Amino acid sequence: MSQLAFWICGSGIAFAEPNPPFSPTNIFAPASTPAKSIFGLTLFVLAVTAAIFIVVFALLLYAVARFRKKADDDGREPPQVYGSNQVELAWTIIPILIVVALVMATARVVAVVQNASPPGNAILVTAIGHQFWWEYRYPGLGVVTANELHVPVSDPVHPTPTFIRLLSADTDHSFWVPRLAGKTDLIPNHPNTMWIDPMATGVYLGQCAQYCGTQHAKMLLRVYVQSKDEFDRWIEQQHQPASISEAVSQGQQIFETTACINCHRVSGTVADGRFGPDLTHLMSRDTIAAGAAPNTPENLRLWIRNPNAIKPGSLMPAMQLSEQQMDALTAYLETLH
């Protein structure tokens, strides 16, 4: 029933709409080739299952209505029918044929998506899943960032896909941005690969889709699909070393002499921790804590003071700093564009 409704709606949804109806994570609004291949298969499967549903449902409904015991029943048992070989054969053969059709359609899409290999101009990203954030490295471009993935838009005529290698630093995770592709898991000691070629700019949302511990629910995904120019400018910006400013030197000093540097990296300084997100360009991000809160000074301060207020059970410890130290530290971080 609900499947039927969506089948009807799905075929009417325009591709790559900026704000697709119902939801920004609607699987019926594909914006990238893998998602589109799945969408095509989805429509076929929904059509077949809807047809089966209508036929069998109608037969059941008819049987239940027509063969009710009537009020004026004569009390005799109805004809005792034990079976029929022809009927059994019919409803064995027809389902087998349906199954064959479904298998063939499915196998084709499996091959198309899984057997693709990166063309020369593909952007290569390594995504490393952590409890409870995403690390992104662009090996060819020398960029390390966290939580917000930037990729160039892909022209269907001359595609520039992004191929993502999926690794994990701890437990199992899963990368799911429905409008761009099906989900693929990040499993330690088991590298996976997926690819996307988003055809319209914008921000695409998703989240971790494999239970990974306490804060699995707030390991959100944001994929920024940008025009070639914007993407190049972003790369440029990520290449800059961290900004150093006299005005926030106290904050910087607090950062570099407390436990912060055990987990975090700020390039060009002594901070070189790998356990937590790279903070060199923290202010270039819209959100903090893997999408759990918007990146505002108040939220940043709160996050450092008491992570459990935003993401209870996250692995960032509450830094026991005085109010004045908090002010200075936040001011410093606010300069990391």
For residue 216, CA distances in Å to 184, 289, 313, 315 come to: 16, 12, 10, 12
Cβ proximity to another protein: between 63 and 259 the closer is: 63
Residues numbered 204-233 forming contacts with another protein, rule: CB under 8 A: 205-218, 220
Measure CA of the first residue to CA of the last residue in the chain; give whole Å: 50
Q: Is 83 left (phi over 0), alpha (psi -120 to 50) or beta?
A: left
Site string for another protein, 132-171 (x = CB under 8 A): ----------------------------------x---xx
Q: Where are the alpha helices (DSSP H) in 124-259?
A: 228-239, 249-257
Query: What dihedral angle (degrees, nearest 10) is formed by the CA atoms of 292, 293, 298, 301?
Result: 20
Residues numbered 25-64 forming contacts with another protein, rule: CB under 8 A: 25-28, 37-38, 41-42, 45-46, 49, 52-53, 56-57, 59-60, 63-64
Cβ proximity to another protein: between 251 and 291 the closer is: 291
Tell which one of 12, 14, 68, 86 touches another protein (CB under 8 A).
68
- Least CB distance from residue 154 to another protein, whole Å? 19
Element (H, E) at 12: none
Identify the residue whose tokens are 């591709």: 15
Tell which one of 14, 71, 79, 247 touches another protein (CB under 8 A).
79
- Least CB distance from residue 202 to another protein, whole Å? 15
Cβ proximity to another protein: between 75 and 246 the closer is: 75
**CB within 8 A of 176, min separation 6: which ones?**
182, 183, 206, 207, 208, 209, 221
Q: Does 16 bind another protein (CB under 8 A)?
A: no
Cβ proximity to another protein: between 96 and 270 the closer is: 96
Angle, CA of 300, 301 and 303, to the nearest 5°: 65
Q: Does 286 bind another protein (CB under 8 A)?
A: no
Q: Is 206 in contact with 164 (CB distance < 8 Å)? A: no
Cβ proximity to another protein: between 260 and 316 the closer is: 316
Residues numbered 97-116 forming contacts with another protein, rule: CB under 8 A: 99, 102-103, 105-107, 109-111, 113-115
CA separation for the pair 271, 265 (Å, rounded): 5
